[in-house]
Chain A
Amino acid sequence: MAVTKNDVEYVAELARLSFNEEEKVELIGNMNVILGYIDKLNELDTDSVDITVNPYYVENKFREDIVEKSMPLKEVIDNSPQNLEEYIVVPKIIE
């Protein structure tokens, strides 16, 4: 499965990244090399194999429904790039 310029542009939009033409060409090359290497996984027959998500199996971890103190507003706002009092501001979104 060769990666094309369309693929790169589609994926870049999904990932909210932008590249100039030169970078796109390089990316196509990089991705194809890596994906070519990754292709070797097809040598393995995994039809009847289950997936492993957590490398060490743990089940049923839960938290009790008990309220704990939230973060002070100041700490939220201190790290935010733009705020209007207690709100974080982003460019106007049209829905």
Chain B
Amino acid sequence: MEFETVIGLEVHAELLTDTKIFCSCSTKFQGKANTQVCPVCLGLPGSLPHLNKKVLEYAIKTGLALNCDITKIGRMDRKNYFYADCPKNYQITQDELPICRNGYIDIELPDGKTKRIGIERIHIEEDAGKLLHTKAGTLVDFNRAGVPLIEIVSKPDIRSPYEATLYLQKLKSILFAIGVSDCKMEQGSLRCDGNVSIMPKGSTKFGTRCEMKNLNSFKALEKALNYEIVRHKEVIEEGGIIHQETRRWDEAEGKTYTMRSKEMANDYRYFPEGDLVTLNISDSWIEEIRKTIPELPYQKMERFIKEYKIPEYDAGILTMSLGMADFFEETAKLSKDPKAASNWLMGDISRLLNEDIADISSIKFKPEDLANLITLINSSKISNAIGKTVLEEMYRSGEKPEKVIEDKGLVQNSDEDEILAVVNRILDSNGESIQLYKSGRDRVTGFLIGLVMKETKGKANPKIVNKLMIQEIKKR
């Protein structure tokens, strides 16, 4: 039997606010456990929550960046459950009226087609504390309790683990670009839960789904989803049924396991949070927030392709980091040669940065310097090959290209008479090569040109060398 996979992702992102969602404790963890708590986030008797405006602002910003409708009249709710990391034994979240609804992310499939993955809802809520399991017992640290989270729930539009990673990749780049989260999956500031089910191909009725938690990398996401799909197939093909449950992905074993504790009565008894009041979001506030959204990476990429006429592949690489994209754009504008700018950044400059495990933000020269280099090459002051040497020096010392060329005496020689003399000298001492050329081996000019370049220490204008070499060898 052929099956179709249905996947939905729930992503939690820790927001980059200075304080927690309901109290003024700092979100930046510095010292010992339980030193960044207060009566509110510790759930002491008599404490009341105080909603952080910035949390709402970031959530609205996220919703706008993900093409959502913003809920104008809303509120917070309580989700009731007992767990050691939950100080009040209820979480203040949004159940009925999430701040954002009905958005989407477009992903680019390998075949070049674009697919729209719907976003069901985005809401704000508080994080729980951290549990440390030891032999002596479980140790609880409430520093993280109350850290603000947004939860982004996709519609079940994803049809393969690969699509899931594309969705998550794009989501991550947008959240990072708008500055609401640092999206570090390994550190837990971006968490992904996957829901997966299978159904017979062509069917419209979804199968029973399983939820997977503890997916802390793109690899884990893809592997876990693939494992689950296979598991579902095996169970169904053997005539069994899939039970709706929550499973934990075990990276070491490469398997998913039932999570016992979370299976217990999940009757959360949601009801409105009476300690907080109605949210009435004005159109003017939404517009104010909208203005703070920068051009998103995928929007930048589309613009680069259109405006600078560079290939999609190049645009994709260049817009992966804002620093790189900005450097490219500045260089492209100043040099008026976007393709060259792109080649330098994707080629030699990226290589040098990778070797040093450095970021473009640490680069010693400016976009105008790179633009100058490009102009120098395009105006034949130096060859492309010399250009590489100049760039290396620019990278190491931060010196401007003109100075490097001057100091190292690298100015290209375009004096045809001088070059002609060298060409003839080389031809004079390479009779065998001339014979080869006459017998039809055209390519031997390359070798001879190389000798000319060596003789002139790379300074001869390669185009002129080429022209004169061919001209002279024909005469011999």
- Is A94 on the interface with B (CB-CB < 8 A)? yes
Identify the A interface with B (CB < 8 A).
10, 13-14, 16, 51, 53-54, 57-68, 70-71, 73, 76-77, 84-95
A70, B37: Cβ atoms under 8 Å?
yes
Contacting A at CB under 8 A, from B131-174, are 131-142
CA of A91 to CA of B133 in the docked complex: distance in angstroms? 9
- Is B252 on the interface with A (CB-CB < 8 A)? no
Which 7 residue pairs of A and B lie closest in terms of their CB atoms, listed nearest first? A62-B53, A68-B24, A87-B139, A65-B54, A63-B50, A58-B277, A59-B278
A93, B53: Cβ atoms under 8 Å?
no
CB distance from A49 to the nearest CB of B (A): 15
CB distance from B57 to the nearest CB of A (A): 9
Contact A89 B36, CB 8 Å, known A59-B280, A63-B51: no
CA of A90 to CA of B137 in the docked complex: distance in angstroms? 6
A90, B52: Cβ atoms under 8 Å?
no
Identify the B interface with A (CB < 8 A).
17-19, 24-26, 32-39, 42, 50-56, 75, 82, 84, 131-142, 248, 259-261, 264-265, 267, 269, 272, 274, 276-280
B141, A54: Cβ atoms under 8 Å?
no
CA of A85 to CA of B107 in the docked complex: distance in angstroms? 49
CB distance from B258 to the nearest CB of A (A): 11
B38, A70: Cβ atoms under 8 Å?
yes
Main secondary structure of the interface of A (DSSP, over half): loop
CA of A16 to CA of B84 in the docked complex: distance in angstroms? 13
CA of A66 to CA of B25 in the docked complex: distance in angstroms? 9
CA of A70 to CA of B34 in the docked complex: distance in angstroms? 9
B261, A93: Cβ atoms under 8 Å?
yes
CB distance from B443 to the nearest CB of A (A): 67
* Chain A residues whose C-beta falls within 8 Å of the C-beta of B134 in the assembled complex: 92
Contact A70 B35, CB 8 Å, known A60-B279, A84-B136: yes
Cβ-closest chain A residue relative to B273: A53
CA of A76 to CA of B269 in the docked complex: distance in angstroms? 29
Cβ-closest chain B residue relative to A53: B272
B131, A93: Cβ atoms under 8 Å?
yes
Cβ-closest chain B residue relative to A58: B277
Give me 12 other A-B pairs in contact (C-beta within 8 A), A54-B274, A68-B25 excluded.
Answer: A14-B265, A61-B276, A62-B56, A65-B17, A67-B18, A68-B24, A70-B37, A71-B42, A76-B34, A87-B140, A89-B138, A92-B138
* Contact partner, A53, options B19, B137, B274, Cβ 8 Å: B274
A-B contact pairs, 29 of them (CB 8 A): A13-B264, A13-B265, A53-B75, A53-B278, A54-B277, A58-B278, A59-B278, A61-B51, A63-B53, A65-B17, A65-B19, A66-B18, A67-B18, A67-B19, A68-B19, A68-B25, A70-B26, A70-B38, A71-B39, A71-B42, A73-B34, A84-B136, A86-B32, A87-B132, A88-B139, A93-B131, A95-B133, A95-B259, A95-B261
B277, A59: Cβ atoms under 8 Å?
yes
B39, A60: Cβ atoms under 8 Å?
no
Task: Name the residue among A10, A14, A73, A87 with the largest chain B CB count within 10 angstroms.
Answer: A87
CA of A91 to CA of B84 in the docked complex: distance in angstroms? 10
Contact A89 B33, CB 8 Å, known A60-B279, A67-B18: no
CA of A95 to CA of B133 in the docked complex: distance in angstroms? 10
B265, A16: Cβ atoms under 8 Å?
no
* Chain A residues whose C-beta falls within 8 Å of the C-beta of B55 in the assembled complex: 65
A89, B26: Cβ atoms under 8 Å?
no
A67, B24: Cβ atoms under 8 Å?
yes
* Chain B residues whose C-beta falls within 8 Å of the C-beta of A16 in the assembled complex: 82
B18, A65: Cβ atoms under 8 Å?
yes
